[in-house]
Amino acid sequence: MKYALTRLAQAVVILIVVTFLTFWMQTLLPGNPCIVATGGLTSDELVAKCEVDLKVGENVFVRYADWGTNFISGDLGESYVNGRTVWDDLKQRFPPTGFLFLYSQVVALGVAVPGGIWAAYMAGRKAKRNIPTWLPFAIVGGIVAVSIALGTSVFTLILLAIFATVVIQTLRGGAAQDQLVSASAFFLLSVPVVVLAIVGQWLFAIRWNLYDLSGYTPPSEGLFDHVKSLWLPSVVIGLSLSPVYLRLLRADMIQNLQQDFVNVAKAKGMPPSTILLRHVLRPSTLTLLTVAGLNVAQLVNGAVIVEVLYDVDGMGSYLVSKFLGREFIVVQTLVALIATIFVLANLAVDLFYGVVDPRVRVERSKG
């Protein structure tokens, strides 16, 4: 408990420092923020109101204190361009991004956790069948040759080659299956999100018509339509995150599978599934948790590209539009909000370590 309070105090200090620094940098920008933001398009009264609100001309500490008090009391300010409050905008912009984040994490973990466990398990096993190295190349080469002769499309050809590789590695069994999973993860890791997003869009929205590019539907308008409106961008972000999770989990699992307590569990005659899921998985999730916490930053930066491409009006596109519109005081508020979520999420992860590993609790109580 003492530990939790200390960490909370630390988090508050970090938030004050981060928000102050961004606030201060924002005041260094040339020009009157009220005029810059509106590009001189609004009335003089609005500019005057804005100057009063923002205490333009006062020193930076006074202005920061004023902004901070408002922020804490829930007054997030307003846009002097269209008169809407930031709070109103957020009510509209946050849910799509929040859901996108949630679903993409579910997809990422849904792929990475079983994949990582499977790969780690297979890595330590002998091959089931002895298939010579040249044979898969010969088969895939044969498929390519036949396809070219028959004039099939490049796309079908790639699918066939992937299919053949999967079948061969699966037949080989053991470490070959780990290689297959790890190589796929590595491939995914090296594909930029943009490419994944564009390919996904082309395949599912255009070629197969399985996804409507009609923007975000809130859950209140039907759960099915809601999921339908977000599944593809969620899968795209999820797939791009999954290789990192998978490799972290696999590495930690392989390391923990070498531990003596695994031999003890085997000597007890426990089946592999029990050993993997009940003995090794939990202590192997610490790194994964840490990185998942850090990925909260993806809530905005990573999602921008996908949000723009998939026409989701979320936080990413909101932040970009405010930034391009030079409404820096709104940007400041958004940055503070994101930083708060980020710090709190990581605080939660930090406290969760103690739940996962009882030894962490002991170390912490020692101080």
Q: Kindly list the residues in this chain that would bind another protein in the complex (CB under 8 A).
A: 124-126, 174-175, 259-261, 263-271, 274, 278-279, 282-283, 356-359, 362
Of 47 and 349, nearer to another protein (C-beta) is 349
Please identify, using beta-carbon distances, which residue of 2 and 126 lies nearer to another protein.
Answer: 126
DSSP of 64-107, one letter per residue? HHHHHHHHHTT---B-TTT--BHHHHHHHHHHHHHHHHHHHHHH
Contact (Cβ atoms closer than 8 angstroms) between residue 193 and residue 306: yes
Taking the complex as a whole, how short is the minimal distance between the CB of residue 258 and another protein, in angstroms?
9
Q: Residue 268 burial (CB < 10 Å; 0-12/13-18/19+)?
A: exposed
d(CA 217, CA 272): 43
Name the minimum Å distance from CB 269 to another protein.
3
* Minimum gap (Å) between residue 135 Cβ and another protein: 22
Comparison of 69 and 259: residue with beta carbon closer to another protein: 259
d(CA 232, CA 306): 10
CB of 109 to another protein, least distance (A): 20
Question: Helix, strand, or coil here: 78?
Answer: strand
CA distance 49 to 44: 9
- Closer to another protein at the Cβ: 156 or 263? 263
Contact yes or no for 251/243 (Cβ under 8 A): no
Q: Measured from the CB atom, is 30 or 269 closer to another protein?
A: 269
* Nearest distance from C-beta of residue 279 to another protein, angstroms: 5
In the complex with another protein, which residue's Cβ is closer, 84 or 129? 129
Residue 58 to residue 65: CA distance in whole angstroms: 11
- Shortest separation between residue 318's beta carbon and another protein, angstroms: 42
